[in-house]
């Protein structure tokens, strides 16, 4: 049974955190237009600051992508603790169906430890990341190897292992996925079920949504959805070295092994998204990154973070929709970390008043002095890569309606300018939408899935008889396009 294990709350001053440092962090995030969705700061076991950027909410689980890997590491740790597994076990011993002359000696020598430390010997990530779909209906597509039949193990081993295992680090989501498959084989349970009574229930985390594989298990390298508070609890559990509410949940030894530096990650330089980023060059443990300042983290694509700062007895949990992940870590080190060194005893009431994070909001605000012309404008579009054929924009008092047509049919969204409209159902998904007039001819519409870092931004330039559209979608392969059309006479 899930019990309510809320993190106790306290003030910044009582836990020795500078109000100015936290405010500087938040102001820097806003000034740099870094899109945080949720934020929690724990110090000395107490929650001292939290906030969610509208339209995101604390009660809605958020896709955390590769932060999932650190939970897979915990699953492996429980299996080791229950003597079902050792880190020296040979990977192929768990997959007797994978055999033959085509397997290299490197493949035959691969161990659990090599999976944990991303030192399988592959020269590149065995996972294929892509973006599939259509206008306003794009989705991330991930698979292991080049196979399309869902056989992740064969996909993993069919790619050449060019280096001796243990000698070459490359960030490899396929390694995490194969690790998860091994845990599922030896336990007879999917990862979510296996961790439910061992980790989720003790921490008071409702059993989370976790992406399923074609065989019915869970994806080990990505696929979890967690609330910001769940990430914060996980960080505190790690900081406590496996202890929660006085009870040892997993061995301290496993936490220390998993979160310490096992291999250099310098060879990671040159991978997409991490080139030149200091906090990707500090080393790697068992599915955990080492960071500067004697810290470590679990992280996921687009800025999902569980940052553990042992020397300050602190945890930072973040969900986000970022393209620049290093920028947020830089802000943590430049503002939050010093805030724990130089605190000032301010009154709790003043602190709470000044940290009103509920004012955070995504998107721009309308800048018009006068209301836009009411009515409907219809446009026929020139041929474009998005396949959009026609667009209609209708403006009512404080409301708008956006309609588009392609070869699949006609679709629409509606909303306002001040509050987020959350009753739109778009291709079976509930989305939050809002718009803003940036000037008399420039309209932006924002479309967010509240359980995801992915979002869409559509900018319309409405001249007298012409329409220019700039479209952006955040994903592993971002979609950015421009197309135009002419107004249809009434």
Q: Which range is least confidently modeled, 241-255, 296-310, 353-367?
A: 353-367
Res 6: pLDDT: 83
Per-residue pLDDT for 350 more than 50? no
Domains 1-59+228-241+288-341+355-362 and 61-226 share a fold: yes
| Whole-number pLDDT of residue 351 | 45
Instruction: Classify 241 as helix, strand or coil.
Output: coil
Residue 1 structure tokens: 């049974």
How would residue 266 be classed by pLDDT, with cut points 50, 70 and 90? confident
How do beta strands 36-43 and 127-134 pair? Answer: unpaired
Res 273: pLDDT: 41
Contact by Cβ (8 Å): 187, 194: yes
pLDDT in tens, 176-221: 999 999 999 999 999 999 999 999 999 999 999 999 998 889 999 9
The average pLDDT across 265-292 equals 78
Residue ranges of domains in the chain = 1-59+228-241+288-341+355-362, 61-226, 376-487
Average pLDDT over residues 153-169: 94
CATH architecture for segment(s) 376-487: Beta Barrel (2.40)
Percent of the chain residues topping a pLDDT of 70? 93
Q: Is 50 exceeded by the pLDDT of residue 173?
A: yes
Above 50 in pLDDT, residue 416?
yes
Q: Tokens for 82?
A: 């229950």
pLDDT tens digits, residue range 84-96?
999 999 999 999 9
pLDDT for position 344? 55
CATH architecture of 61-226: 3-Layer(aba) Sandwich (3.40)
- CATH class of the region 1-59+228-241+288-341+355-362: alpha beta
pLDDT at 373: 83
Give the per-residue pLDDT at 276.
58
The whole-number pLDDT of residue 397 equals 86
Among 29-33, 269-273, 306-310, the range with the most confident prediction by mean pLDDT is: 306-310
Ranges of beta strands (E only) in 182-325 are: 225-226, 243-244, 247-248, 289-291, 295-300, 304-309, 314-320
The whole-model pTM stands at 0.94
């Amino acid at each position: 049974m899930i019990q309510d294990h809320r993190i106790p709350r306290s003030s910044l001053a009582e836990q020795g955190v500078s109000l100015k440092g936290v405010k500087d962090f938040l102001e820097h995030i806003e000034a740099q237009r870094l899109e945080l969705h949720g934020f929690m700061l724990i110090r000395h076991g107490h929650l001292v600051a939290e906030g969610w950027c509208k339209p995101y909410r604390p009660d809605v689980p958020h896709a955390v992508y590769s932060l999932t890997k650190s939970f897979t590491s915990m699953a492996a740790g429980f299996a080791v603790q229950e003597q079902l597994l050792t880190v020296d076990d040979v990977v192929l011993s768990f997959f007797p169906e994978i055999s033959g002359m085509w397997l290299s000696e490197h493949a035959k020598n691969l161990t659990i430890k090599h999976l944990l430390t991303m030192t399988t010997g592959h020269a590149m990530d065995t996972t294929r990341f892509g973006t599939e779909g259509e206008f306003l209906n794009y989705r991330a597509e991930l698979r292991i190897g080049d196979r399309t039949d869902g056989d992740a193990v064969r996909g993993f081993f069919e790619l050449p292992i060019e280096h001796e295992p243990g000698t070459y680090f490359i960030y490899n989501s396929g390694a995490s996925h194969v690790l998860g498959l091994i845990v599922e084989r030896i336990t007879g349970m999917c990862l979510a079920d296996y961790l439910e009574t061992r980790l989720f229930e003790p921490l008071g985390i409702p059993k989370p949504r976790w992406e399923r594989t074609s065989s019915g298990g869970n994806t080990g390298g990505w696929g979890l959805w967690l609330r910001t508070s769940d990430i914060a609890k996980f960080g505190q559990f790690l900081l406590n070295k496996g202890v929660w509410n006085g009870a040892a949940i997993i061995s301290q030894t496993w936490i220390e092994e998993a979160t310490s530096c096992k291999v250099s990650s310098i060879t990671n330089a040159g991978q997409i998204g991490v080139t030149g980023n200091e906090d990707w060059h500090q080393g790697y443990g068992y599915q955990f990154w080492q960071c500067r300042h004697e810290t470590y983290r679990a992280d996921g694509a687009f800025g999902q973070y569980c940052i553990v700062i042992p020397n300050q007895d602190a945890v930072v949990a973040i969900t986000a929709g970022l393209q620049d992940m290093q920028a947020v870590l830089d802000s943590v080190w430049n503002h939050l970390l010093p805030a724990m060194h130089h605190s000032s005893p301010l009154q709790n009431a003043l602190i709470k008043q000044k940290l009103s994070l509920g004012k955070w909001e995504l998107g721009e605000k309308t800048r018009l002095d006068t209301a836009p012309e009411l009515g409907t404008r219809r446009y026929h579009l020139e041929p474009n890569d998005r396949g959009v054929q026609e667009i209609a924009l209708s403006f009512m008092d404080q409301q708008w309606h956006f309609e588009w047509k392609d070869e699949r049919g006609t679709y629409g969204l509606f909303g306002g300018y001040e509050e987020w409209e959350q009753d739109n159902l778009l291709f079976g998904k509930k989305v939050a939408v809002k718009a803003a007039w940036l000037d008399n001819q420039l309209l932006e519409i924002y479309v967010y899935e509240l359980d995801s870092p992915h979002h869409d931004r559509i900018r319309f330039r409405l001249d007298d008889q012409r329409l220019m559209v700039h479209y952006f979608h955040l994903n592993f392969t971002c979609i950015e396009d421009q197309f135009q059309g002419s107004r249809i006479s009434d």
